[in-house]
Structure 1
């Protein structure tokens, strides 16, 4: 199947695309931001010999800003704040009764109940209006299809976003997320880092999905986010939460005078948490409030309100590419959806500063049948047909359908001629070895008989299932478009999957020299003595003055952009990306031919080595990077590393996996992609054995995305904005 999560994993966009009404697309603009203020009690409790619990956090207040979007992209805000003082109020039980909450419910339960009430209104603001859809003349013809235009999918889920909430705020919410009125789903992430968790109301079936807003922007402070993405006139307020604990909160917060400057002294920061100027501003702000509790509520609400503008600007940034940011839980998933979407709609990423022309956009009205004209026509064999008949009979038997009149192996000649002379009854494509035939039952209540079946592509038959016909057509055409342009597709061959999975490497690097003192440490170099077959480590006469690291500027986008560069000696001076798989082979002569011809995109599993005469040319940076298993012996890891491990009582009996640099494959089969292997061959490597190869179609479809995001990054750099990091994260 094609890979385009922005469409195929987003039911609303999938529907709009299938019904040709993408001009009605609108990103989700209704959401809620929230934030906790906490009480901190010093504990100083030893958990283990090496771990001490310094303090324990308790809930003091929770605030939220609810965003109700209008049709013109404006929005209304509703701000709320609940505190421990609410639990002491005379009408607290009355408030609990209103939402049918148990009498022992906390103020957080009360906030959640109110929030569930609000999200129903937010949902009504966001969902598509029937009139708006019918106003498009192109959609009128579709109103009588399966489900009808009124059946447009729009999830009854509203995002609730906190800043850095995956580590702290969600932990404070945890005990309130499961009760008689709502239930908690399975969290994504871990207990220490919860990326997302969905809570569903048992009556209304509305859902709150809690995610971390910081994950949508990348690592930065809320203050930096507001500066770069929000309203620069907004400022974050200050509050000395460290002086408030579970014993004094009532007394401290009911005082009418402002906090003293000394109250802002922070043990965590090792100084004052604010400057004198910020304290003076605080004194001015405090005059608007009757007591510290009112200021706490204002402070808590303000931290939620200032998140709104950055999020709205982020939504606008991606909406121009038809990407719905709030459908995703992180910048990584959003970026992945964007880059895959760009391969189907490259013109969306053709900025004014980039007038290059790419291949045409995907068009739901276009005919993409027979996308690969060079594919070999399919010829039915006795074995293939016999296998098909067996599985058809098994399907019908398990479904309780009569099998007496099913197609049989005796019908081979009839279907051989049918598949050669006819086309797919669903997409009109010819049957080839790239596009295998099957039988599609017209009446799903009946079995696989001649009278009930028409020929159809296997992929079309799978897509067809019980889907809306127009959504089926979308899936089929996107697949054909992907084949035509060699775009990535899901892997259906388990052998290819295992080969690719095996070559994903990473891990801790083996560090050979931990200490270099400027002006003292001599630079060490390695030389190989071929006669004694020893590696000699010795200091030369040069003394270390600086340690620096070289990093390729924009290395990732340069690698996958496929932009033509004369310095790339292979495949027409481009580093092409892999599209759909072409074939898998374990025949040595096929593997060798693919490697030697230097035309195909592949990953190959081989054994290889460098001649000893090349060692001294390569020891400065051995070119084979691999995560291998290493025995912790002195002769293996070196005297220095071994002595350090013993000094710190590290376990030395077990084997470790280390990301290491090698001069051969250590007597093992290892996997290399085509560009890496060709580079090693040009450096003099000798291949001694061939195990397997997976060959892929090649494409340059990521170029529009990379160019667009790189231009946006350059603009951010020139403007001195930390948005530069944001665009770098998207590209990476």
Structure 2
């Protein structure tokens, strides 16, 4: 409808209401310059102005039915109105639709309090379940509190052995030399063109493009060699045809990756690898991954970013695992991936992507002659192809009968060039007995490598016995009675003969055993931390005195495995981890919550400063204790240079446990946490541990008695010493910051007003502090000691202290990779240098 001064809507119409809302939010009348609602940047302002909670739903599907589900909730504590929208995303573009009835759309009823918990409407017990949840919801202040079920017994954390069933099996049977990586796989790439959608706004318009796949290529690497294939839009159901062939090729790849020995446990998923495919390629073929012939059996990620998708064929049961090559490195362009990791130069033709679109592809690609030079003009970047590069293209394109043939050649080229860098990554990982394509991502690979180094001298038959100094257990009659009742209950459930089972009358007999003997499997002492049970010699018989031996709970658990070698592995790993004080899994919920709460990130609170070399005076802040004011003071010196420290380069030093003179505690070394020792709330003991003078000892024997810890404390830096650190507050934490004039100051608040940016609301930002913001915060021992010893931090309250053993077993890993990185740099081996940097950063 053309613009005119004539009014073309009624005051009660949808258009009129939209214009009124526009004025409320943006503070001005609607005009033709409005470029549309940007959900990512405008939603917060909309919520604050309208005082509504926005709940975003999206569409997905599974094997049985299509479904809609919630993906994000934008909520404000003071808002009571809900605004529900449906986000439709094709992987490139997104559209929002208003949802009037969430229950009818999703088939779920959402909690009226938290708006997060949902129950299926088909559930006959929905009212009961909802009532129970709402009761908890009110108790938890409208928050869903998830509880992680921890393991009952702490077990060694040894990911390079325990996370791979194949390597674990070969290791326990002394056949590690037979271990091999997954080295055969399929790569793929998709070519797309734009489909333009015109959205009118008066006389002007906003053009949104939708990407349509029209050509897909794959390269197969198997034992017999490398070959490629390609399908395009001219073929009926070409994406399904491509998947059919991928499944067919996967049969041979599965055989080639397989071990000849059928007794070796192994995984049979065939990797299908794209480049930057998590957000792009997978979304374009997603709807084709479910059909009458195959189905999605695993989907890791969100509706818009698929980190991993596993598809299984319903007849052959072949499983394809779609992954992105970037999960094994870092964000980079394909050219850089090939150059730095593949150690080669990407040789690929040219194609006029901007020139080909949905309206002209059929006629243009049917032509026999190469594209004209002007077809390669990039209007977005205002660039054109020079004559020399065009002639290179012309010579190559002239070899093909039509532009379709050249397109297929061009599409195929993107798939074999991925093989060399992927193979290099596989080889570099396998040096440390890591099967890269079995792992989920680079972080998991790096984690396995660092523990592979920590356990480098571990042997199945090694002697790792350590004398337990814990308090010996004193079996009481109530304890023994509970154990006896448990044994009888077990036997009765299994319908064993129980008349000769142990009874409470055998108390003195077993008390003497527990006081004078050791566990018959691991030879450890009976202690309160390592409690005893009775293990049956013949599992077909009951718990009788002549059929049981004293055993610790840990050994008893893994003896039930029935595989003596697997049991021995778990026992030996436990002994080794205790001897070397290496980490084990957490079993204490309180300790888990303390650690989990502080695994956090987020946007930083950025402080802007304007500096001009040769003009700006060197400036410092100064706090006036009496006036409670901060002053900005210029010195007489002029700024000439700006130095920036890249913290990434410090990652290795933090976990190396290398000796540095500036580390004043624990013999000038920063040790890593091992196993949880105690969770302490006694104030005297907490103070004793935190302020222990032994932290400064130079004596190695005394140093061994100093535990590492995490302390939950509330405190502040002494006002008289704030000027020591006012330029950079040493307490870095995520906190809720009111974005108002009183908090951020007149200058920054005026900037927000002038730029029409969100303000007068609460934002959570990572920022620098000189106190704990009146909250109890967690600090590891080295952090807290620096605050106390160098910044005069005063502790006002101690909630708890959790102590840990310590180790320096990551030292070898850091030294090895730092040395390799330096040598690779000097030898201009970019592939190895990039690999070492990726592993060091990911391990941190």
Alpha carbons 2:173, 2:565 under 8 Å: kept: yes
Match of 1:455 in 2: 550
Q: With structure 1 as the length reference, what TM-score do the two structures score?
A: 0.85
Match of 1:13 among 167, 177, 184: 167
Q: 2: distance between equivalents of 1:396 and 1:267?
A: 80
Residue aligned with 1:562, SS: coil
More off after superposition, 670-679 vs 237-246: 237-246
CA deviation string 1:455-498 (max 9, x = no partner): 22211222233353322221221122111111111111111111
Matched, 1:592 2:746: no
CA deviation string 1:621-660 (max 9, x = no partner): 2211122223334322222233333445555454322222
Q: 2: distance between equivalents of 1:727 and 1:269?
A: 35
Matched, 1:693 2:808: no
CA offset at residue 28 of structure 1? Answer: 0.9
Q: 2: distance between equivalents of 1:321 and 1:216?
A: 15
Match of 1:28 in 2: 182
Matched, 1:300 2:411: yes
Match of 2:367 in 1: 255
Match of 2:838 among 718, 729, 732: 729
Tell me: CA distance 1:214–1:424, structure 2 relative to 1, closer, same or farther (3 Å). Answer: same
Alpha carbons 1:212, 1:329 under 8 Å: kept: no
Residue aligned with 2:691, SS: helix
Match of 2:213 among 49, 59, 70: 59
Matched, 1:601 2:601: no
Match of 1:99 in 2: none
CA offset at residue 520 of structure 1? Answer: 6.5
Residue aligned with 2:234, SS: helix
Match of 2:246 in 1: 115
Match of 1:179 in 2: 291
CA offset at residue 548 of structure 1? Answer: 4.3
More off after superposition, 633-642 vs 31-40: 633-642
With a CA cutoff of 8 Å and minimum separation of 6, indicate the structure with the bigger relative contact order. 1
Tell me: CA distance 1:439–1:267, structure 2 relative to 1, closer, same or farther (3 Å). Answer: farther
Alpha carbons 2:341, 2:835 under 8 Å: kept: no
Q: 2: distance between equivalents of 1:270 and 1:371?
A: 71
Alpha carbons 1:218, 1:726 under 8 Å: kept: no
Match of 1:657 in 2: 764
Tell me: CA distance 1:436–1:219, structure 2 relative to 1, closer, same or farther (3 Å). Answer: same
Residue aligned with 1:58, SS: strand
CA deviation string 1:577-636 (max 9, x = no partner): 111111111111111121222222111112222221112222112211122223334322
- The residue correspondences of 1:349-498 to structure 2 (distance < 5 A) are 361-368=457-464, 370-389=465-484, 391-392=486-487, 407-442=502-537, 448-450=543-545, 452-466=547-561, 468-498=563-593
Tell me: CA distance 1:217–1:504, structure 2 relative to 1, closer, same or farther (3 Å). Answer: closer
Query: How many residue pairs align between the two structures?
Result: 670
Q: 2: distance between equivalents of 1:478 and 1:229?
A: 35
Gapped runs of 5+ residues in structure 1? 70-74, 88-105, 131-149, 346-360
Tell me: CA distance 1:107–1:506, structure 2 relative to 1, closer, same or farther (3 Å). Answer: same
Q: 1: distance between equivalents of 2:627 and 2:810?
A: 51
Tell me: CA distance 1:290–1:623, structure 2 relative to 1, closer, same or farther (3 Å). Answer: same
Q: 2: distance between equivalents of 1:256 and 1:306?
A: 27
RMSD: 2.7
CA offset at residue 447 of structure 1? Answer: 5.5
More off after superposition, 329-338 vs 298-307: 329-338
CA offset at residue 576 of structure 1? Answer: 0.6
Tell me: CA distance 1:523–1:413, structure 2 relative to 1, closer, same or farther (3 Å). Answer: same
More off after superposition, 432-441 vs 206-215: 432-441
Alpha carbons 2:340, 2:834 under 8 Å: kept: no
Match of 1:332 in 2: 443
Match of 1:197 among 309, 315, 322: 309
Matched, 1:320 2:417: no
Q: 2: distance between equivalents of 1:182 and 1:453?
A: 51
Q: 2: distance between equivalents of 1:335 and 1:624?
A: 29
Tell me: CA distance 1:154–1:538, structure 2 relative to 1, closer, same or farther (3 Å). Answer: same
Alpha carbons 2:338, 2:345 under 8 Å: kept: no
Matched, 1:77 2:226: yes
CA offset at residue 407 of structure 1? Answer: 4.4
Match of 1:354 in 2: none
Matched, 1:555 2:555: no
Match of 1:127 in 2: 258
CA deviation string 1:429-464 (max 9, x = no partner): 333344322233455566555455432221122223
Gapped runs of 5+ residues in structure 2? 1-154, 696-705
Tell me: CA distance 1:536–1:619, structure 2 relative to 1, closer, same or farther (3 Å). Answer: same
CA deviation string 1:267-306 (max 9, x = no partner): 454423x554433222222233222222222111111001
CA deviation string 1:230-287 (max 9, x = no partner): 3626512222222222232222222221122222222454423x55443322222223
More off after superposition, 595-604 vs 420-429: 420-429
Tell me: CA distance 1:109–1:526, structure 2 relative to 1, closer, same or farther (3 Å). Answer: same
Q: 2: distance between equivalents of 1:391 and 1:52?
A: 73
Match of 2:780 in 1: 673
Alpha carbons 1:561, 1:706 under 8 Å: kept: yes
